Chains A and B, each alone.
Chain A
Amino acid sequence: NAGVTQTPKFRVLKTGQSMTLLCAQDMNHEYMYWYRQDPGMGLRLIHYSVGEGTTAKGEVPDGYNVSRLKKQNFLLGLESAAPSQTSVYFCASRAPTGFHGYTFGSGTRLTVV
């Protein structure tokens, strides 16, 4: 089925460990986004990409890195996980045109202990 797939769905990390979250979309969308959701704070933008090979910082980029080597994939990396990065992470993608073209993944629940 067409859409946005996030892997993994759940993960527990120890402080200081690293990991990569994968977002894959098969809709040929140009724009891709990584958000984190914390209680009482809504969704906050971490990083985004407006096309293959491009990345840009969002509202809360510290402690994260991203890469968009292929158009369909947007990777979010945590080099040294901290308890403050415990959150639910959502990936979204959007076509260049169309007002309700945002498609969200099902989320990744990350716990850092």
Chain B
Amino acid sequence: AQKITQTQPGMFVQEKEAVTLDCTYDTSDQSYGLFWYKQPSSGEMIFLIYQGSYDEQNATEGRYSLNFQKARKSANLVISASQLGDSAMYFCAMREKYVNGGATNKLIFGTGTLLAVQP
């Protein structure tokens, strides 16, 4: 079964510093997608970044980059120049495209990392 593992329940980072949030995944599929979502204290789920399993370049979106190491099955999120507004829960997720030959496109989530940015 597909699984996402986030081993850091909580992280602290100083404002303006970079931080890496870890994510490892387990799948037997050749084609899959990896996502990172941010959930601030207000509760909404905010999409940050996506990496496809066949993408050769690491994905980047502004201050967010995804360090994709396919052989190690890791998809770590790097936030550069942290801001106070980055304090939130961060979820790594993987898309499971098919189950028993039928398309499902289910998102499987990790347990999350709570990031606190300190001034």
Interface residue ranges, A against B (CB under 8 Å): 31, 33, 35, 40-45, 48, 50, 56, 58, 88, 90, 92, 94, 99-100, 102, 104, 106-107
Contacts and interface: CB of A to CB of B under 8 A. Distances in A.
B43 A88 contact: yes
B109 interface: yes
B106 A100 contact: no
- Interchain residue pairs A-B with the least CB separation, the first 5: A104-B45, A42-B109, A43-B109, A42-B111, A100-B50
B35 A100 contact: yes
Interface in B6-58: 6, 9, 33, 35, 43-45, 47, 50, 52
A100 to B, nearest CB: 5
A41 B111 contact: yes
Nearest to B111: A42
Contact of A45 (B43, B45, B106): B106
A88 to B, nearest CB: 7
Interface residues of B, number: 24
Given A40-B111, A41-B111, A94 B47 contact: no
B105 A31 contact: yes
Interface of B: 4, 6, 9, 33, 35, 43-45, 47, 50, 52, 91, 93, 102-112
Given A31-B105, A92-B107, 12 more contacts: A40-B9, A42-B109, A43-B109, A48-B106, A50-B103, A58-B106, A88-B43, A92-B45, A99-B33, A100-B50, A104-B45, A106-B44
Contacts of A94: 105
Interface of B is mostly: strand
A56 B111 contact: no
B44 A104 contact: yes
Contacts of A88: 43
A104 B33 CA distance: 17
B29 to A, nearest CB: 15
Contact of B104 (A40, A43, A56): A56
